[in-house]
Amino acid sequence: MQRKKPTVKQLGNFVLSVYDKMRQIERIAMGNSQAFLQYLEMTGELDKFNDYLKEKVKGQDNEGRKEHKKGKKKQTKGSRATKTGSKTS
């Protein structure tokens, strides 16, 4: 059995269906986020949660700075920076 290449119309339909599914997932995620924030407001723990998030972000910033290496990157053989601008006569 030989496989045929999909037509442009089939590819377009596939891409649109994937896009629609992603939009559905986005709407669900946003709804869940809103429900979670409303729950935190209802229980009076919204400020506590915001403080927790700030600490987490601050901790990740510090870890990211530790992992960052100081100094220049080594140039690779094929990079533009290693090519010379001399012209042949």
Report yes or no on 48 lying in a domain.
yes
pTM as predicted: 0.54
The pLDDT assigned to 18 comes to 98
Residues 6+ apart with CB under 8 A from 6: 14
Domain of residue 52 covers 7-59
Report yes or no on 73 lying in a domain.
no
Which residues of the chain, if any, have pLDDT below 70?
Answer: 67-89
CA distance 14 to 66: 44
Q: How many residues does the chain have?
A: 89
Smallest CA-to-CA distance from 33 within 49, 48, 18, 20 is with: 49
CA distance 34 to 49: 14
- Domains contained in the chain, number: 1
Report yes or no on 80 lying in a domain.
no
The pLDDT assigned to 63 comes to 79
Report yes or no on 39 lying in a domain.
yes
CA 26 to centroid of chain Cα atoms: 14
